[in-house]
């Protein structure tokens, strides 16, 4: 997930797995959505963020500016707060019958709750 801190708009995609190739694919989508803007990314120390593949991608796309988080400082990242709200209001004590049902509920929550404070349906 990424958030435009000026507008509050969240960009997200569901994937079956997470790795550096998925990270760069997501970054490519952000580059397309914001073709004339620099993109600032707040990142933690996840290995996919530090991989050679990701480093090479970033070298080729200087509009992407990385703002690394200090170790154990996830609370500084606004997207981590979003994940916490999704966990609290949408996933905890949920009883989704399928993955698709869960993904739909999360999408609905993100789209309908700009502040991410509310009930997941």
Residues 2 and 59 in one domain: yes
pLDDT the model gives residue 30: 95
Other residues' Cβ atoms within 10 Å of the Cβ of residue 86: 20
Q: 87 and 29: one domain?
A: no
Whether residue 118 sits in one domain with residue 99: yes
The pLDDT assigned to 23 comes to 93
Q: Per-residue pLDDT tens for 50-105?
A: 999 999 999 999 999 998 887 777 777 777 788 888 888 888 889 999 999 999 99
| 59 and 105 fall within a common domain | no
Structural domain count of the chain: 2
Q: Show Cβ contacts of residue 41 under 8 Å, excluding neighbours closer than 6 positions.
A: 2, 27, 64, 65, 66, 67
Which one of 52, 72, 92 terminates a domain? 72
| 33-46: average pLDDT | 90
Q: Are residues 37 and 89 in the same domain?
A: no
Verify that 56 and 92 share a domain, yes or no: no
Question: What is the domain extent for residue 118?
Answer: 77-121
Q: Percentage of residues in the chain with pLDDT exceeding 70? A: 93
Closest CA to 14 of 29, 35, 32: 29
């Amino acid at each position: 997930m990424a958030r435009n801190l000026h507008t509050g708009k969240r960009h997200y995609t569901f994937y079956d797995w997470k790795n550096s190739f998925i990270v760069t694919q997501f970054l490519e989508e952000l580059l397309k959505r914001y073709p004339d803007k620099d993109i600032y990314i707040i990142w933690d120390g996840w290995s996919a963020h530090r991989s050679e593949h990701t480093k090479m991608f970033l070298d080729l796309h200087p509009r992407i500016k990385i703002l690394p988080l200090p170790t154990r400082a996830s609370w500084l990242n606004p997207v981590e707060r979003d994940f916490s709200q999704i966990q609290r209001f949408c996933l905890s004590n949920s009883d989704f019958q399928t993955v698709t049902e869960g993904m739909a509920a999360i999408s609905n929550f993100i789209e309908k709750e700009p502040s991410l404070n509310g009930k997941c349906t």
